[in-house]
Structure 1
Amino acid sequence: MSHPLANSYMEGSCFPTFLTLFFQQKMILFPNAKINLGLNVLYKRPDGFHALQSCFYPVGWADVLEITEAESYKFTSTGIEIPGDPSNNLCTKAYDLLKKDFDIPAVHIHLHKIVPIGAGLGGGSADGAFTLKGLNDLFGLGLSIKKLQTYAEQLGSDCPFFIENKPVWVTGRGEVFEPVELDLSGKYIVLANPGIHISTAEAYGAITPQEPTRNTKKELEGDIAHWKAFVKNDFEEPIAKKYVAIQNLKEYMYQKGAVYASMTGSGSTVFGIFDEKPLGLSFEKEIMTWEGTL
């Protein structure tokens, strides 16, 4: 029996196009963001990177990534405008990395950008890592998690996290992972981005790297009620002093009942973790928000 959609296209000139689409290999993925639970900047390493400590935790705010086999490589995007040369996009770089080592076909990568850019959420890193995973699955490359993480490390420090995409304690420059005994399942999270772009140079220029006075990993594995006092993001205080909107968002999260609130990464997104969905949340229209269950 023929497919009913095929029958509808046979009557018109679009049928050849439909056949092409129907038999093309295609994959749709949803690269999600992450938050930092605590972020300690210890010192500047000889290689120019900073030694960090943090917990990376995945959240549901996500882009939409479509990979389709094509006659020639193409990258396109919709949604939030992505600055810079498309050839420098991490999705393209991920494709180029695998293309060097494997005889994979050309693809058309289309990214619908939803996660704010430069917001401390790792959205671009997720896009690159999910491209690696998508190409691996689409073309049956058989790459292990470890091998995919090795490729992802070449894209950027945060990228390897998104290969397994589960909570980890992070050290090194953000690429060394350890298990963390932390499960926030059932908690409710609200993320708010005020649209303030904070460059890496500005963020690091505002802090003095130092060893933390408390064991952040141990605090995170303890009672969340104590996080407010002991789990800190080293970037938050100096950045919030300069950009009052960040401090206001954090205070608002606590006013609405958050058990813990913080800026994530080098900013400017602020998140609040709640025991249950808060009532009566209201944000100014220029603030991008996402909320959901962890």
Structure 2
Amino acid sequence: MSIIEKAPAKINLGLDIAGKRADGYHDLSMLMVSVDLNDYITVSEAEGSSIIIESNSLRMPLNEKNDVYKAALLLKKRCNVDAGVKITVEKRIPICAGLGGGSTDAAATLRALNKFWGLHLPDETLLDLGFTIGSDVPYCIGGGCALVSGKGEIVEPLEVSLSAWVVLVKPDFGVSTPSVFRDISPSISRVDISALREAAEAGDYQQLLCHMGNSLEDITIARKPFIQKVKDRLLKCGADTALMTGSGPTVFALCQSEKKADRLVNSMKGFCKTVYKVRML
């Protein structure tokens, strides 16, 4: 028997750094949404009590450094599971892209093993477990459109009906999230997440565009100016807006027209190797 779980990528429509906490972490306020670019997690039986990780990606570690492995080990210990498991990760989401690939894989692993082992743990428990792996994992447990705050552990799903084509452009380099957060200063740009949420819940696309923003964008662009070139090209080619997601380097553009999205894809393919046209979920 095996179970396959879809692991969708995410984008940040808004990412605000509200300040630094006494524990050294930053207070986050983010509006996040899933898109239909997916990894796939398949879990099946393995001999003994071992955790075996396989993947089509040569860049992904297949040991305890992998978030998928961490998720499986965490669940085994939490629920005293002795059974072994083989986890196959079909990677389609680029690695180190700001699209939450590692986090969504870990979340999908928790969901899949919760079913596979018949644990019947509620989502609240999976969220708590996921947060010990990474700050984006709690959001990825449920996905969709959600307001995420605190250190990432507070997730409020939102009932919205956003409809837009999303063009993802991933430059040919990665960005270290911890190093970006180390460069945060009191003068960092701010994003009005409350106004963004209001626009999303009202289904007001134009107001949504007006209030989108990413507090980390200036930091990452200062290190990797090519990201600004990607943004500028997307806007010049007719994108409704263009914004870096997460700590980068992926830039996404929104379009209400599929024809416009297709033009963007054609324009960007000669500029960057990795370009996707997807929808919000």
Match of 2:275 in 1: 289
Decide whether the 8 Å contact of 2:16 with 2:192 is kept in 1. no
Relative to 1, partners in 2 of residues 1:177 and 1:51: Cα closer, same or farther, differing over 3 Å? same
Relative to 1, partners in 2 of residues 1:255 and 1:227: Cα closer, same or farther, differing over 3 Å? farther
| Candidates 149, 156, 162, aligned match of 1:171 | 149
Match of 1:68 in 2: 44
Cα distance, 1:80 vs structure 2? 4.8
Cα distance, 1:129 vs structure 2? 0.8
| Candidates 236, 258, 266, aligned match of 2:217 | 236
Equivalence map 1:24-35=2 (5 Å)? 25-35=1-11
| Candidates 149, 169, 177, aligned match of 1:192 | 169
Equivalent position amino acid for 2:273 in 1: I
Question: Does the residue aligned with 1:160 lie in a helix, a strand or coil?
Answer: helix
Alpha-carbon distance between aligned partners in 1 of 2:137 and 2:59, rounded to the nearest angstrom: 21
Question: Does the residue aligned with 1:271 lie in a helix, a strand or coil?
Answer: strand
Decide whether the 8 Å contact of 1:42 with 1:211 is kept in 2. no
Alpha-carbon distance between aligned partners in 2 of 1:35 and 1:104, rounded to the nearest angstrom: 36
Alpha-carbon distance between aligned partners in 2 of 1:216 and 1:232, rounded to the nearest angstrom: 9
Question: Does the residue aligned with 2:17 lie in a helix, a strand or coil?
Answer: strand
Question: Does the residue aligned with 2:56 lie in a helix, a strand or coil?
Answer: strand
Equivalent position amino acid for 2:19 in 1: Y
Match of 1:139 in 2: 117
Matched, 1:252 2:252: no
Structure 1 unaligned segments of length 5 or more: list them: 1-24
Question: Does the residue aligned with 2:64 lie in a helix, a strand or coil?
Answer: helix
Normalized per residue, which structure has more strand? 2
Matched, 1:272 2:253: yes
Matched, 1:208 2:174: no
Cα distance, 1:45 vs structure 2? 1.3
Relative to 1, partners in 2 of residues 1:201 and 1:213: Cα closer, same or farther, differing over 3 Å? closer
Cα distance, 1:212 vs structure 2? 6.8
Equivalence map 1:115-130=2 (5 Å)? 115-130=93-108
Matched, 1:113 2:91: yes
Relative to 1, partners in 2 of residues 1:62 and 1:40: Cα closer, same or farther, differing over 3 Å? same
Alpha-carbon distance between aligned partners in 2 of 1:149 and 1:274, rounded to the nearest angstrom: 32
Decide whether the 8 Å contact of 2:214 with 2:245 is kept in 1. yes
Alpha-carbon distance between aligned partners in 1 of 2:237 and 2:82, rounded to the nearest angstrom: 50
Matched, 1:52 2:28: yes
Alpha-carbon distance between aligned partners in 2 of 1:179 and 1:98, rounded to the nearest angstrom: 24
Match of 1:4 in 2: none
Identity %: 34
Q: RMSD of the TM alignment (CA)?
A: 2.1
Decide whether the 8 Å contact of 1:43 with 1:51 is kept in 2. yes
- 31-40 or 273-282, larger mean C-alpha shift: 273-282
Alpha-carbon distance between aligned partners in 1 of 2:271 and 2:44, rounded to the nearest angstrom: 35
Question: Does the residue aligned with 1:33 lie in a helix, a strand or coil?
Answer: strand
Cα distance, 1:258 vs structure 2? 2.1
| Candidates 220, 224, 229, aligned match of 2:205 | 224
Relative to 1, partners in 2 of residues 1:80 and 1:267: Cα closer, same or farther, differing over 3 Å? farther
Cα distance, 1:203 vs structure 2? 1.3
Decide whether the 8 Å contact of 1:224 with 1:259 is kept in 2. no
TM norm structure 2: 0.87
Cα distance, 1:248 vs structure 2? 1.6
Structure 2 unaligned segments of length 5 or more: list them: none
Equivalent position amino acid for 1:230 in 2: H
Cα distance, 1:284 vs structure 2? 3.1
Question: Does the residue aligned with 2:130 lie in a helix, a strand or coil?
Answer: helix
Equivalent position amino acid for 1:123 in 2: G
Question: Does the residue aligned with 1:86 lie in a helix, a strand or coil?
Answer: coil
